[in-house]
């Protein structure tokens, strides 16, 4: 018996039932984990310590906090949500990159 790779459904007795469920389950939208559903991110995900922000000066701080340096999220492209299928594929590709594949 096989389980759905996207959810914790009980095992399916037939491959056809699993395939049908998996197709529907893969299309469920979830909040993007990179931008947390905001659709944008700062300076390609860069963050600054308090000391680094102080070094940049008050004008930079104001611009940064106002979102001037934000750009569409690298993962969702600004859509704020991704399907479970895309998220699983991205996780698998990230694991392969970590392994050097």
Positive or negative, the CA dihedral 79, 81, 85, 91 is positive
pLDDT in tens, the chain (101 residues): 788 888 878 888 889 988 999 999 999 999 999 999 999 987 755 678 889 889 989 998 898 888 888 889 989 999 999 999 999 999 999 899 999 86
In the chain, the N- to C-terminal Cα span, in Å, equals 30
Kindly tell me the burial class for residue 35, based on how many C-beta atoms sit within 10 Å of its own C-beta (0-12, 13-18, 19 or more).
Answer: buried
* pLDDT value for 44: 58
* pLDDT value for 70: 86
CB 17 within 8 A of CB 6: no
Beta strands in the chain (DSSP E): 29-31, 40-42, 70-72, 81-83
């Amino acid at each position: 018996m096989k389980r759905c790779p996207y959810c914790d459904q009980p095992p399916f007795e037939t491959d056809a039932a699993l395939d049908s469920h998996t197709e529907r389950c893969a299309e469920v939208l979830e909040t993007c984990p990179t931008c947390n559903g905001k659709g944008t991110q700062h300076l390609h995900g860069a963050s600054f310590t308090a000391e680094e922000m102080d070094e940049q000066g008050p004008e930079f701080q104001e611009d940064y906090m106002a979102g001037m340096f934000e750009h569409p999220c690298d993962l969702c492209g600004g859509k704020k949500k991704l399907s479970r299928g895309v998220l699983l594929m991205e996780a698998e590709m990230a694991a392969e990159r970590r392994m050097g594949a």
